[in-house]
Amino acid sequence: MINRLISRLSLLMSIALFSFSCSNKIPKTLSNGYQLVYQESFDDESTIAGYEFSDNDFWKYNAENGKSGSLECTGKSAYVPPVRSPHSMALIEAKQFGSFIMEVDLQQTGRVYPHQDMCVFFGVQDDSHFYYTHISKAMDDHANNVFIVNGEPRIKISTKTNDGQNWEPQKWHKIRLERNIESGMIKLFFDDMNEPVMTAMDKSFGAGGIGFGSFDDSGKIDNIRIWSKDPVTTGKSLFK
């Protein structure tokens, strides 16, 4: 009886260790030297205190029917950016990331139309200097591209994109964003982690903030993991 109990406990410990290892596993595309420097799964409402928002009234903690929650954007915020760029932004507060690879789960909850979108922000210097990926259902000069906001209305800088992403209702999608500040390389993956749907090359900005949101729509964010070979530095708050 005791031996059987010990065997069960050993099995449970092995499973727990395996799960922890998998949750922190570095993606195969990463080179040596990258380490997990940030993660957030929004297990309780207090976790959103680590974020700053362009408009607090349009962001909330979603408990996901009593399960582990998510960060939710409820719609186009009333925030008016200094130059033409997304309205709804949630930034990891006061942290700057150099070269990184990030994986995050996104769910689009807005109406279905060509520009139905979610955005990932990075290299954020201030409210009018940053990069973002606009991940939308259809592609044109203002949608489903990598953009730079550099003191003027956003400009697409993609060297590759596709016709658009399929934001299926009530479905979570796995996103991976890779950025190398030395080479300027930017890659975005959508569900398929073997082939990027967007690429760009730009070295205008160095280390900067990371965040999530939408240009005009609503959506949810969960299971954020960021690996980097550079130290995470303290930056200034943008919206507080």
Residue boundaries of the structural domains of the chain: 33-234
How confident is the model at residue 11, as a pLDDT? 44
The amino acid that residue 129 corresponds to is H
* pLDDT for residue 128: 97
- For residue 66, the model assigns a pLDDT of 65
Segments of the chain with pLDDT less than 70? 1-31, 65-67
Among 191, 187, 211, residue whose Cα is nearest residue 105: 191
What is the rounded distance in angstroms from the CA atom of residue 118 to the CA atom of residue 136? 7
CATH number (3.40.50.620, 3.40.50.1820, 2.40.50.140, 2.60.120.560) of 33-234 reads 2.60.120.560
Report how far residue 148's alpha carbon sits from residue 204's, in angstroms, rounded to the nearest whole number. Answer: 9
Q: Check residue 239 and give its pLDDT.
A: 87
Whole-Å CA distances, 164 to 7, 49, 114, 117, 143:
51, 33, 9, 10, 9
Backbone angles phi, psi at 171, to 5 degrees: -115, 135
DSSP β-bridge partners for residue 82: none
